[in-house]
Structure 1
């Protein structure tokens, strides 16, 4: 249980990528982390793009970055909605600026883009947001997982094993 006592923040909204939320959620719990999945409202059922429901464990507005050791952002189309919430961007910036791990997969990179934290980082994502990342100042590469300083990124659900290994390794250094 490498992450015993660590606290992880994840975001959820409708049309999240089911596997990209659930796989890290359970994998990080398995390593001993406490995982908070915050949505626009606490206790609300959000439906993934493949139809899987997930009940948020907290409201985004009630979260403080100092309560968390790392942030994991799942993909799907939820990040496009979530990045319009100033509190999501504030939490993302504060966690990043504190040198804590910020991990994003697939379309999850939209949140770090809008938080203004991608300048000078090498990362990966779904090819669909490659231009967005490049325009935000990142160097995009087509790799299974990329670790650059305090950021971890991956492309798609098939990359989830490598994504979670990299998160756990970086967070427990």
Structure 2
């Protein structure tokens, strides 16, 4: 099955992890999805190393019903993202609609803030394990974890398996 008719949002904020934003964006585009980078008020965001991610729209201006999935990259960006209610609401709304919500590394913070992991099997970078557990998640140290519509991974080295799981979820 193709994902060419699917529309996927990738959230952006300053200090995002380069590979965790651009690798899924490119893989999804290669697989045929339409990918939109969503921010919270700026035209572009910069990674810790200075790479730019141009925004296609503001998360507050996007109707979650028009999206098929959301990807949340890590780095320190998720700590800033969760300060934007529009981003948190978008993640929560997609999760409640049973659409894929995928995060990697520190992006588990957004899943915590959206209150979507209670009773669910998840993973993240080990340094936020306690946050995930305290939010009710069943945290495991695995490359990629798929629990229903939630897809999570730990670190940039997990990106190949993370993207395979995301594309498979979009094909369903």
TM-score range, shorter chain: over 0.9
Q: Which runs of 5+ in 2 are unaligned?
A: none
Q: Under a length normalisation based on structure 1, what TM-score does the superposition of the two structures give? A: 0.96
SS of equivalent to 1:96: helix
Are the aligned partners of 2:40 and 2:87 in contact in 1 as well (CA < 8 Å)?
A: no
SS of equivalent to 2:101: strand
SS of equivalent to 1:21: helix
Please, what is the CA RMSD of the aligned residues? 1.1
Deviations, residues 33-71 of structure 1 (Å, cap 9, x unaligned): 1111011225x2211122211111111221111010001
Output the CA distance in 2 between the equivalents of 1:118 and 1:24: 22
Task: Note the 1:19-98 alignment, pairs <5 A.
Answer: 19-41=19-41, 44-98=43-97
Output the CA distance in 1 between the equivalents of 2:35 and 2:41: 16
Q: Which residue of 2 aligns with 1:18?
A: 18
Q: Under a length normalisation based on structure 2, what TM-score does the superposition of the two structures give? A: 0.97
After TM superposition, the runs of 4+ consecutive aligned structure 1 residues lying more than 4 A away are none
SS of equivalent to 1:10: strand
